[in-house]
């Protein structure tokens, strides 16, 4: 996404109001109030389910990057959702400015946020009355414009504890670096007197408005990799992110291998290097990089996820059963270390479904209910129709693996009703197709009915 942007921390789907008991449609609040207000202020607007997550990503990492990287973040405190409160706390601890809080008029503010100004809105029967929508949207637009145009602190942490700025030197520059870590083209890295020449070299990337121009500038950066890394090592994450943005995997690999071994073997660089190698089908090298990294970080879920992804790539290329087992093992270990991450557990289940031996079926039967429980717990026990699209899609896959065809049909219908773009349904259809092995004739007919719903061709 081009810088700047606004990240919105908000409950997803339909949630009950603990105070009134009414159900609140937060998707409607986002689409009718928040997104139009933010776009009116001149910013693109995203929330957690807008983040594109490849198999090698951990969703929490992408959310944290969005929290720290957004020029404005909005937190909707209505219902005092724990995830929203946690994300607002992270934002206040990391970024001094650019945060807007909002809430329904009936939502009480927690004591630690009682001094923070909020944009309020009325709720009637779980939605904002049409008579108040335009006025509330205008108020939110003004609030976003205000925090962008002023240097006023919006974090109570930095406002009430001014000495924290001494504990975190050069807060503004630190904030810009956090945003740059999300942005691939360095538009927030500004020149200032006394900066080393490496910063001036990297700064030129902010003026590149096309992938081709960006790639040409990256070649200049690459030619000075050693001196740049020694002069300003804090820029390395930003440079790697820029290579990713340009999909210049060969350039990323060349840049990484020019770094000194100690820097190249750091967790951040090694992971980016392995992902780039894997995308160019240099999977053997990617696995070697991740195995060395695993020796340093044996209990790091993110390392295990990328290692599993690498073995998975080689399995689907060469069909070696040992690679399949290694991929399953890595994903299972990652899930054991972080049992709330159902995405990782789902990867392990999908790969287990590729095996046809009794042992795999036993492992699948043991793991499946735990992944489903993690998914349901993550959605706080709310009914499936209140979940976001991708969680419904995951539940669909879990139902297929469990041969629960009634549940699969229900999830497919909910997913079809929630999809906002054709590519979403196509992606889910592709994932479902991978689960079509080892089916009886009757199960294949059930699967075809599910596919028809996903394709929009089912009738009745």
Burial 125-162 (b: 16+ CB within 10 A, else e): ebbbeeeebeebbeebbebbbebbeeeebbbebbeeee
The CA-to-CA distance between both ends of the chain, in Å, stands at 40
Burial label for 307, CB within 10 Å (0-12, 13-18, 19+), is buried
- Please give the residue range of the domain that contains residue 64: 6-166
- Beta partners for residue 47, in sequence order: 8
Gap between the Cα atoms of 158 and 38, Å rounded: 25
Residue 78: the pLDDT is 93
Burial class of 456 by CB neighbour count within 10 A (0 to 12, 13 to 18, 19+): exposed
Q: Examine residue 113 and state whether it is found in any structural domain, yes or no.
A: yes
159 has pLDDT over 70:
yes
Q: How many folded domains does the chain comprise?
A: 1
For 391-405, what is the mean pLDDT?
A: 92
| HSE toward the beta carbon, residue 285, CA cutoff 13 A | 14
Residue 194 maps to a domain = no
Given a contact cutoff of 8 angstroms between Cβ atoms, the answer to whether 189 and 238 are in contact is yes
Q: How far is CA 438 from the centre of its chain?
A: 32
298: burial class by Cβ within 10 Å (0-12, 13-18, 19+)? exposed
Mean pLDDT of 293-318: 93
State percent of the chain over pLDDT 90. 33
Q: In a 10 Å sphere around its CB, with 0-12 CB exposed, 13-18 middle and 19+ buried, how is residue 444 labelled?
A: exposed
Average pLDDT rounded to a whole number, residues 289-314: 94
Note the pLDDT tens digit of each residue in 110-157: 878 877 888 888 888 778 888 888 889 988 998 898 888 766 678 888
Residue 194, pLDDT score: 34
Confidence of residue 433 (pLDDT cuts 50, 70, 90): confident
Write the CA distances from 282 to 95, 273, 314, 319, integer angstroms: 39, 11, 9, 16
* DSSP per-residue codes, 126-175: TB--HHHHHHHHHHHHHHHHHHHH------HHHHH-TTHHHHSSSHHHHH
Q: Two tokens at 165?
A: 């700025």
d(CA 58, CA 394): 15
Does pLDDT of 189 surpass 60? no
Contacts of 371 (CB under 8 A, 6+ apart): 335, 342, 345, 346, 349, 398
The residue among 230, 295, 235, 243 whose CA lies nearest residue 265 is 295
Greater confidence (193 vs 83) lies with 83
98-100-103 Cα angle (round to 5): 170
Query: What is the C-alpha separation between 205 and 186, in angstroms, rounded?
Result: 6
pLDDT at 220: 64
β-pair partners for 103: 120
Q: What single DSSP character describes residue 252?
A: H
Task: Please answer whether residues 34 and 62 qualify as being in contact, where contact means their C-beta atoms are separated by less than 8 angstroms.
Answer: no
Percent composition of the chain: helix, strand, coil (DSSP 3-state, to 5): 65, 5, 30
Residue 129 forms part of a structural domain: yes
Does residue 359 form part of some domain?
no
pLDDT of amino acid 150: 61
CA gap 294, 300 in Å, rounded: 8
What CATH number corresponds to the domain at position 28? 3.40.50.10140
Does residue 211 surpass a pLDDT of 60? no
Say if residue 356's pLDDT is above 60: yes
Secondary structure element (H or E) that encloses residue 400, with its range? helix 389-401
Rounding to the nearest 10 degrees, give the CA dihedral for residues 185, 190, 191, 197. -30
d(CA 273, CA 310): 12
Is 13 a domain residue? Answer: yes
Residue 174 lies in a domain: no
C-alpha triplet 429, 431, 434: angle, nearest 5°? 110
Least confidently predicted of 56-65, 386-395, 443-452: 56-65
Predicted TM-score (pTM) of the model is 0.58
Spatial distance between the Cα atoms of 407 and 144, rounded to a whole number of angstroms: 42
Arithmetic mean of pLDDT over the chain: 80
> How far apart, in whole angstroms, are the C-alpha atoms of residue 350 and residue 370?
14
Indicate whether 59 belongs to any domain: yes
Alpha helices in 4-47 (DSSP H): 26-29, 35-40
- Taking the C-alpha atoms of residue 84 and residue 104, their distance in angstroms, rounded to an integer, is 14
pLDDT of residue 181: 43
């Amino acid at each position: 996404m081009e810088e700047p942007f606004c990240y919105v921390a908000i409950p997803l789907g339909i949630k009950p109001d603990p105070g009134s008991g009414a159900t609140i449609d937060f998707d409607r609040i986002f689409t009718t109030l928040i997104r139009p207000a933010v776009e009116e202020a001149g910013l693109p607007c995203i929330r957690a389910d807008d983040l594109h997550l490849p198999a090698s990503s951990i969703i929490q990492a992408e959310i944290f990057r969005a929290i720290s990287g957004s020029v404005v973040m909005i937190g909707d405190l209505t219902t005092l959702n724990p995830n929203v409160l946690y994300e607002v706390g992270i934002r206040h601890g990391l970024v001094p400015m650019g945060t807007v809080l909002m809430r329904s008029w009936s939502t009480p503010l927690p004591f630690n946020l009682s001094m923070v100004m909020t944009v309020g809105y009325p709720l009637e029967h779980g939605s904002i009355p049409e008579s108040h929508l335009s006025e509330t949207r205008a108020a939110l637009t003004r609030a976003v414009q205000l925090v962008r145009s002023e240097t006023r602190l919006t974090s109570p942490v930095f406002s009430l504890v001014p000495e924290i700025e001494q504990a975190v030197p050069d807060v503004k520059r630190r904030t810009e670096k956090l945003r740059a870590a999300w942005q691939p083209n360095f538009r927030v890295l500004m020149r200032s007197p006394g900066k080393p020449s490496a910063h001036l070299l990297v700064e030129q990337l902010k003026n590149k408005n096309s992938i081709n121009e960006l790639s040409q500038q990256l070649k200049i950066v690459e030619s000075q990799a050693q001196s740049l890394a020694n002069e300003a090592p804090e820029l390395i994450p930003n440079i790697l992110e820029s290579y990713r943005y340009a999909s210049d995997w060969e350039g990323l690999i060349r840049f990484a291998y020019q770094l000194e071994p100690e820097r190249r073997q750091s967790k951040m660089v090694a992971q980016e290097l392995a992902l780039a190698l894997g995308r160019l089908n240099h999977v053997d090298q990617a696995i070697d990089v991740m195995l060395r990294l695993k020796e340093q970080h044996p209990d790091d879920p993110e390392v295990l996820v990328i290692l599993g992804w690498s073995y998975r790539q080689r399995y689907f290329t060469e069909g070696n059963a040992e690679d399949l087992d290694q991929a399953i093992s890595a994903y299972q270990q990652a899930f054991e270390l972080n049992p709330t991450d159902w995405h990782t557990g789902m990867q392990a289940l999908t790969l287990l479904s590729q095996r046809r031996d009794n042992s795999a079926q036993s492992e699948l039967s043991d793991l499946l209910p735990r992944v489903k429980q993690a998914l349901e717990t993550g959605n706080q026990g709310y009914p499936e129709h209140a979940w976001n699209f991708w969680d419904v899609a995951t539940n669909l896959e879990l139902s297929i693996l469990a041969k629960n065809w009634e549940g699969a049909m229900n999830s497919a219908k909910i997913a079809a009703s929630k999809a906002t773009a054709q590519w979403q349904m196509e992606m889910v259809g592709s994932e479902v197709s991978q689960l079509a092995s080892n089916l009886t004739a009757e199960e294949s007919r059930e699967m075809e009915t599910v596919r028809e719903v996903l394709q929009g061709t089912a009738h009745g």
